[in-house]
């Protein structure tokens, strides 16, 4: 039985785009070998982003560090080798040839886990900072397809005032960040 105080956080490099699949493979492999006591947590840090497809908004989890999986484990005996042999795993971050994987420092772990918490709670962040007088295209709502220039930015409400040319006249239209995209 391993003591959880001996567990450290490691970063496993995986094939980019397959992080969640690789996480599942690692979990299954550890369980199949009866080694669940040695591995506490396997995390794929994600952030919630809003995508717009066909005028509809979708909330989607986007991998925050593509190609990296965080593993809290005690790498005793074969555990490191078992994780490395999982399909899609490239290796541990920071390991030297033939050497042991290097665990993350406490400060790095706290920073990363704090970031993970912040990202998972911050749902409505469309991470697109706009600037005044920038030309944008409206992708949602009654003015879909129109282009205009940003006249005002309200970061608190996540709204923009966009000057759209309607019937040859510039008209101010209030839109949310998610209703426009950069050109």
pLDDT value of residue 133? 92
Report field, pTM of the whole predicted structure over 0.85: no
Q: Contact, 132 vs 142, CB < 8 A?
A: no
- Please state which CATH number belongs to domain 4-121: 3.30.70.940
Question: Stretch 15-35: mean pLDDT, rounded?
Answer: 94
pLDDT value of residue 118? 67
The fraction of the chain above a pLDDT of 90, given in percent, is 46
Tokens for 20, please give them: 């969640």
- Please state which CATH number belongs to domain 135-182: 2.30.30.30
What are the residue boundaries of the structural domains of the chain, listed by start? 4-121, 135-182
């Amino acid at each position: 039985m391993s003591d959880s105080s001996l567990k450290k956080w490691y970063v496993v490099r995986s094939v980019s785009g397959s992080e969640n699949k690789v996480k599942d493979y690692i979990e299954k492999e550890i369980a199949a070998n009866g080694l669940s006591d040695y591995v506490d947590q396997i995390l794929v840090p994600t952030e919630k982003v809003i995508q717009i497809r066909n005028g509809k908004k979708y909330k989607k989890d986007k991998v925050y560090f593509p190609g990296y999986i965080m593993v809290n484990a005690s790498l005793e005996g074969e555990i490191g080798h078992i994780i490395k042999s999982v399909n899609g795993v490239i290796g541990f971050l920071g390991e030297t040839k033939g050497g042991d994987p290097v665990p993350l420092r406490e400060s790095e772990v706290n920073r990363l886990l704090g970031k993970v918490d912040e990202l998972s709670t911050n749902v409505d962040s469309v991470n697109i900072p706009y600037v005044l007088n920038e030309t944008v295209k409206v992708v949602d709502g009654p003015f879909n397809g129109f282009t205009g220039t940003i006249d005002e930015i309200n970061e608190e409400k996540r709204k923009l005032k966009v000057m759209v040319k309607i019937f040859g006249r510039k008209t101010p239209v209030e839109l949310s960040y998610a209703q426009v995209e950069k050109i």
